[in-house]
Amino acid sequence: MASLPVSPLAPDRFPDLPHIGGVTLATGKAGVRYSGRTDVMLAHLDPGTKVAGVFTRSKTRAAPVLDCEAKIGASSDSGAAFVVNSGNANAFTGRYGAEATQAITGAVAAALDLPESRVFSSSTGVIGEPLPHQRITDRIGDLAAQLAPDGFEQAARAIMTTDTFPKGAGTTVTVGGQPVRIAGIAKGSGMIAPDMATMLAYIFTDAIIDQRVLQSMVAALTATTFNCITVDSDTSTSDTVLVAATGASGIPATENDLGFIEGLRRVMLDLAHQVVRDGEGATKFVEISITGAVSEVDARKHAMAIANSPLVKTAIAGEDPNWGRIVMAVGKSGADAERDRMTIWFGDILVARDGWVSPDYDEARAAAYMKNQELTIHVDLGLGGGTATVWTCDLTHGYVDINADYRS
């Protein structure tokens, strides 16, 4: 397909990311599907690096996801590598898919002198077509020779599919008075309704951290970051988040280092938000905030029912403060609600309370608010202490255009 115009919600530029010791990167043009652009990314991680990961729970998850799941969590002090291609997801490709994944991870292991169990691969793109893996393995030698520090922006570009901008986020936090750095990249634009993880994200830190501690942190933080975004309610077969802690800073971090945890959370949330900002056809970035639900689980159900409703999303596209559709979505969510205890705000505009439109509601003011590019919709259920916040985008002609001819 023709390349798409950059999302109006894109950041001004790719951020300056901190240098992460122990990480080197390379990108190349394997021609898996796209021509004239990079489509393969290799990351090498020094010996001692701990790797944590969370993956889609789709029942039809792709071959590289199954391979990563089998490898994650094993204790090892050897180096490691991530290898990622765009253009083909190697999903629903039967036994051939597993063979293709093994060919790629084997080639990386040989080129970098690593155990194959320490090479984690991802593939993203079309589902159900055989991955021409030799185009990738043919490039591994060159990529290994080109590995260099930094280069996160190039890496983020190589893993894009329908993405319209490369996604990166980073921060430097203080652990025991010493600086520890975190940097990550992600891709994702459509088929976004993560279930345990979203799309592809690779995050690097120079902290020293135990693998099981890192795994627990990443899983917990995923619940309120990547798992709280939705573009179109469709869950990818390839969702993968991999986090590598190289230890190059010499600074140990534990489950008690709240500054580190908060820094990691900020990077994950920033990347998750960038995926929504690049939602296929998106023109609005929308935060859906729920309070007063019976439980956290109920709050999330309400939030996701609103965020995934095609009627809510098309109304937002039309800049229509159609709060009746918010009421509809809450009503269908399956979670507890009482019509006469609900309160709804668009931004700071009180729209409805006590089961009806607020007497002070001013439709013209609400319509003006809806013209903003960033919107907040807040529903208080008035029932309990359950809260949730999720992020989504609008549903526009652009989404239909992109997806009606994705394979043509």
Among 8, 16, 73, 96, binds a second copy (CB under 8 A): 96
Which stretch, 102-110, 137-145, 146-154, 312-320, contacts a second copy (CB under 8 A)? 312-320
Q: Smallest gap, in angstroms, from Cβ of residue 321 to a second copy? A: 9
Among 333, 345, 378, 390, binds a second copy (CB under 8 A): 333
* Neighbouring residues of 131: CB distance < 8 A, sequence distance ≥ 6: 32, 85, 88, 90, 93, 97, 100, 123
Q: What are the structure tokens assigned to 170, written together?
A: 């980073």
Q: Is there a catalytic annotation at residue 389?
A: no
Residue nearer to a second copy on the CB measure, 114 or 327: 327
Among 138, 255, 296, 320, binds a second copy (CB under 8 A): 320
Report the alpha-carbon distance of residue 282 to residue 277 in Å, rounded: 7
Report the alpha-carbon distance of residue 375 to residue 362 in Å, rounded: 17
Among 87, 184, 188, 190, binds a second copy (CB under 8 A): 190
Report the alpha-carbon distance of residue 156 to residue 32 in Å, rounded: 17
Q: What are the structure tokens assigned to 365, written together?
A: 């003011």
x/- contact string, 5-24, with a second copy (CB under 8 A)? --------------------
Is 339 a binding residue for a second copy by CB under 8 A? The answer is yes
Closest C-alpha to 322, from 381, 394, 380: 394
Residue nearer to a second copy on the CB measure, 205 or 227: 227
> b/e map of 194-220 (b: 16 or more CB within 10 Å)?
bebbbbbbbbbbbbbbbbebbbebbbe
Q: What are the structure tokens assigned to 350, written together?
A: 């009180």
DSSP secondary structure letter of residue 14: P
Total of chain residues touching a second copy, rule CB under 8 A:
70
Is 300 a binding residue for a second copy by CB under 8 A? The answer is no
x/- contact string, 104-143, with a second copy (CB under 8 A)? ----------------------xxxx--------------
Is 67 a binding residue for a second copy by CB under 8 A? The answer is no
Report the alpha-carbon distance of residue 384 to residue 375 in Å, rounded: 25
Among 85, 249, 308, 343, binds a second copy (CB under 8 A): 308
Kindly list the distances between the CA atom of residue 34 and the CA atoms of 42, 90, 248, 290, in Å, as whole numbers in the listed order: 18, 15, 36, 41
Is 373 a binding residue for a second copy by CB under 8 A? The answer is no
Is 400 a binding residue for a second copy by CB under 8 A? The answer is yes
Among 4, 72, 220, 357, binds a second copy (CB under 8 A): 357
x/- contact string, 43-62, with a second copy (CB under 8 A)? -------------x-xxxx-
243 burial level (CB within 10 Å; 0-12, 13-18, 19+) = buried
DSSP secondary structure letter of residue 192: -
Catalytic hit among 164, 198, 222, 246: 198
Q: Smallest gap, in angstroms, from Cβ of residue 406 to a second copy? A: 7
Report the alpha-carbon distance of residue 91 to residue 93 in Å, rounded: 5
Report the alpha-carbon distance of residue 112 to residue 23 in Å, rounded: 13
Is 405 a binding residue for a second copy by CB under 8 A? The answer is yes
* Catalytic residue ranges: 198
Binding site for a second copy (CB under 8 A): 56, 58-61, 89, 91-97, 126-129, 190-191, 193, 195, 232-237, 308-311, 314-315, 317-318, 320, 322-325, 327-333, 335-340, 342, 352, 354-357, 395-397, 399-400, 403-408
